Amino acid sequence: MKTCIACGMPMKKESDFAMGDTSKDYCVYCANSDGTMQSFEEKKQSLINFTIKTQGLDQSVAEKAVENMMRQLPAWKECF
């Protein structure tokens, strides 16, 4: 099973992929409306916001957890 290079989500069905295109390496949640992949800063900010919204973490903890996660992902290797 493919996993999204930008967030690590497993991608199995068509609707998991950006624009429903199974040849893409990133998921529907990591794509902009035109189908391009979100930038590092955009993705980082949206993950931080999401983590705070759904888990109530302190901003600095959320930032570090997100950075830690993004560091492992192929799309962002060069950003660290």
Minimal distance in Å, beta carbon 20 to other proteins?
15
Q: Which residues bind other proteins (CB under 8 A)?
A: 1, 8-10, 12-13, 50-57, 61, 64-65, 68-69, 72
Cα separation of the two ends of the chain = 26
CA 31, 16, 75 angle in degrees (round to 5)?
45
Contact between 30 and 43 under an 8 Å Cβ cutoff? The reply is: yes
